[in-house]
Amino acid sequence: MGQRVNIQYSVELTDLDEEVARLFKKAVTQLEDIGSGWGSGYVPLDLEGLRMVDELRQNLARIDIALGDVQNIVQGYVNYKSTPPQQEQPDSPSPTEEMEIEQLEDRIAMFKEMIDAQPNQEPEENNE
């Protein structure tokens, strides 16, 4: 079997069913052509028989790959239709807001250090 490459292209959503039908029909037509070309069922037990079986298997493999592509497209569409639309994520903070957050975190850390540095003090009692 020859080398294969993956390609990607887009179609309008309204044209997707026609594109899937085209790919599926092509695979089915190839399968029908194979079925009609091997009518006798006789396989000679020699190199020609090996070549015939190999050719049939390679053709079937190409059809299987094409049908796999169709299946992947249909699966992607089903997933697309069954997944609820994603809500917009809240905007991430701007660089200025991030800087303010960092400054606040630094101040909180500094206050914690100051509190930890002071010895434990008993609260003063009012003896009035």
Q: pLDDT at residue 125 above 70?
A: no
Q: What is the CA angle 94-98-100, rounded to 5?
A: 115
> Are 58 and 1 a contacting pair, CB within 8 Å?
yes
CA dihedral 67, 71, 73, 79 (to 10 degrees): 180
Q: What is the CA angle 18-22-25, rounded to 5?
A: 130
Q: What tens digit of pLDDT does each residue of 27-82 get?
A: 999 999 988 877 677 889 999 999 999 999 999 999 999 999 999 999 999 999 99
CA 74 to CA 20: how far, in whole Å? Answer: 8
pLDDT computed for residue 122 by the predictor = 59
- Write b or e for each residue in 5-15: b if 16 or more Cβ atoms lie within 10 A of its Cβ, otherwise e: eeeeeeeeeee
CA 66 to CA 30: how far, in whole Å? Answer: 10
Percentage with pLDDT > 90 across the chain: 48
pTM equals 0.62
Q: Is the pLDDT higher at 117 or at 16?
A: 16
Percentage with pLDDT > 70 across the chain: 87
Query: Which DSSP helix (H) or strand (E) runs through 101?
Result: helix 95-117
Instruction: Report in angstroms the alpha-carbon separations of 34 from 21, 39, 60.
Output: 20, 9, 8
pLDDT computed for residue 28 by the predictor = 96
Mean pLDDT of all residues in the chain?
85
Contacts from 38-47 at CB under 8 Å and sequence distance 24+?
none
As a whole number, mean pLDDT of residues 104-126 equals: 73
